[in-house]
């Protein structure tokens, strides 16, 4: 993986995957490379001390057909059009587990975004993944 690069925006780092996927994260988060993209987590290893870790998965699917699901909702994230769904499952003593799965169409495939959050009270707003989506791109 390419080492994170300091960006012009203050307190951010840029991660570039060999497949061309690029994410810019504030310094509170870090990214680990996997086969198709990244796993984003809080910086400093704070996930090791919680029962339900914070984790966002971002993957690039070049040459793949965009998922066609009539049940997907649509939302703009910055200047991007995202198709997504949220689902609720039993989560355990910490509350229900809410899953977000989003798709962004690109010229030769799509980017997939996913996150699961546990909440005792209500469906979360998924603010962190929406911010991550706004700061994700693909190098040409």
Q: Where are the domains of the chain?
A: 5-138
Question: Is the CATH code 2.60.120.1690 the one for domain 5-138?
Answer: yes
In this model, does residue 109 exceed pLDDT 90?
yes
Q: How many CB atoms lie under 10 A from the CB of residue 61? A: 18
The predicted pLDDT at position 94 comes to 72
The helix (run of H) or strand (run of E) holding residue 131 is: helix 127-134
What is the Cα–Cα distance from 41 to 17, expressed in whole angstroms? 16
The predicted pLDDT at position 2 comes to 56
The predicted pLDDT at position 19 comes to 96
The predicted pLDDT at position 4 comes to 64
Average pLDDT, integer, range 112-138: 92
- pLDDT for 73-105, tens place per residue? 999 998 899 999 999 988 677 788 899 999 999
The predicted pLDDT at position 3 comes to 58
For residues 62-84, one letter each, b for 16 or more C-beta atoms within 10 angstroms of the residue's C-beta and e for the rest, the string is eeeeeeeeeeeeeeebeebebbb
pTM for the structure as a whole: 0.87
30 pLDDT band, cuts 50/70/90, is: very high
């Amino acid at each position: 993986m390419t080492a994170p690069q300091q960006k012009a925006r203050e307190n951010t780092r840029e991660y570039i995957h060999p497949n061309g996927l690029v994410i810019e994260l504030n310094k509170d988060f870090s990214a680990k490379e996997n086969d198709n993209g990244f796993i984003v987590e809080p910086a400093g290893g704070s996930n090791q001390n919680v029962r339900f870790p914070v984790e966002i998965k971002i993957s690039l699917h070049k040459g793949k057909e965009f998922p066609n699901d009539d049940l997907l909702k649509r939302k703009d994230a910055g200047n991007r059009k995202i198709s997504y769904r949220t689902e609720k499952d039993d989560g355990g003593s910490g509350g229900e587990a809410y899953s977000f799965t989003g798709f962004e169409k690109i010229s030769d495939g799509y980017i997939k975004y996913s996150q699961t959050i546990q909440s005792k009270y209500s469906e979360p707003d998924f603010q962190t993944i929406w911010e991550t989506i706004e700061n994700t791109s693909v190098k040409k």
